[in-house]
Structure 1
Amino acid sequence: MQKVAIILTQGFADWEYGLIAGAGGPFYGLDIRFFTPVPGEIRSMGGLSAAVPDGLESIPEWGPGVIAVIGGTIWETDDAPVLDGLLLAHHSKGGIVAGICGGTLALARAGLLDDVRHTSNDADYLHRHAPGYAGSKFFRPEPEAVTDNRVITAPGTAPVGFAAAIFASAGLDRDAAETFRKMLAAEHTGTTGD
């Protein structure tokens, strides 16, 4: 069973992790665990309070295959945690790193978007909030998740595609991951995913 570490911060976006946790464990057998920069209580953008006992220092010991950085209000501020060392070490050891919405800023700040195809909320968003970001020529203005060389990125409006990309990268059969994506996108496309 593949392990997926989900990093939450103060002001995390409620809609960006729910499908990973809610479907990844119960339906697809992934081992999902939450981590925060500082263990303790955090509050989501929508007002959900959660006590998370595990800090970032516990991630390498736990040994996940995927580290997913969830967006939220903190990433555009000076209070954003620095994840460079954690993300770079994980990726250099063959791990998968993922970021959605503001979480893509953590990947950009670590230099992980400098030479892979990627997306985010928009290209200017990365330039404004990630000093040193040098991946402009690899940016793709996609409405869905983009995966390249064990790096997954998505705009905040793509939690379904983000979850499906994580599931596929974590070893779920690609057809099953695509069925999941189509099933949850059906309300927007008017199809059942068959």
Structure 2
Amino acid sequence: MTKIAILLIDGFADWEYGLVGGTAGPFYALDLRYFTPKHGQVRSQGGLIAMVEDGLQTLADWQPDVIAVIGSAKWEQDAPDIAALLQQEHARGAHIAGICGGTLALARAGLLNAAAHTSNAAGYLSEHAVGYSGASHYVDSPAAVSDNRITTAPGTAPVTFAIEMFKAASVPEEAIQHFQTMLTAEHGQ
């Protein structure tokens, strides 16, 4: 069974993980677990209090196939250092994904220096991520971008972020197409 790890920190954006969190297990038989840098309580941007039992060591021991770093304004300042974990997991073969502020963790880990990627804005990564040197690979896109087992998305793209994560988790193309059709129907796409 394909394993997806969702990494949350205080102030996590409620809408950025919901489509994956709510459908991965019940609809696609994926093994989904939540993690925080230090196990315990985290509060979402919208005020939801979540008790997360697993920390980073448990995440590394579990060896997920896909790791999603969910956005929070805290990634811009006062952020936990997860660079070594992300580098280690990518080197092991995991697909690493970041949305909104979560892209800063990927940039700090050096994962975006040689891969096509996007984020909230062109200058967002260079402004907030020390060591980021991948500006020449930045793609100005309203949708998620995937390259070299790395997915990035602006905070306004939770649908394409979920789709790219499901592709990375080897969900069948027909199921992904059905998922996308359902979620974009109200927009006439």
TM-score range for the pair, normalised by the shorter chain length: over 0.9
- Structure 2: gaps of 5 or more residues: none
| Percent sequence identity over aligned pairs | 57
Task: Report the 3-state secondary structure (helix = DSSP H, G, I; strand = E; otherwise coil) of the residue aligned with 1:27.
Answer: helix
Q: Deviations over 1:90-142 (max 9, x none)?
A: 11111100000000000000000000100000110111100121111110011
2: distance between equivalents of 1:114 and 1:175? 33
Alpha-carbon distance between aligned partners in 2 of 1:179 and 1:146, rounded to the nearest angstrom = 20
Pair 1:142-2:141 in alignment: yes
Structure 1 CA distance, aligned partners of 2:147 and 2:25? 24
Q: Structure 1 residue runs of 4+, over 6 Å off?
A: none
Structure 1 residues 23-68: Cα deviation after superposition (integer angstroms, max 9, x where no partner): 1111011110000011111100000001111011111111110110
Cα distance in 2 for residues equivalent to 1:178 and 1:125: 31
Which residue is 2:125 aligned to? 126
TM-score (norm 1): 0.95
2:183 matches 1:167: no
* RMSD (Å), alpha carbons: 0.9
* TM-score of the superposed pair, with normalisation by structure 2: 0.97
Q: How far apart are the structure 2 equivalents of 1:34 and 1:50?
A: 10
Q: Which residue of 2 aligns with 1:111?
A: 110
1:174-189 residue pairs with structure 2 within 5 A?
174-188=173-187
Match of 1:157 in 2: 156
Count of residues paired in the alignment: 189
1:94 matched to 2:93: yes
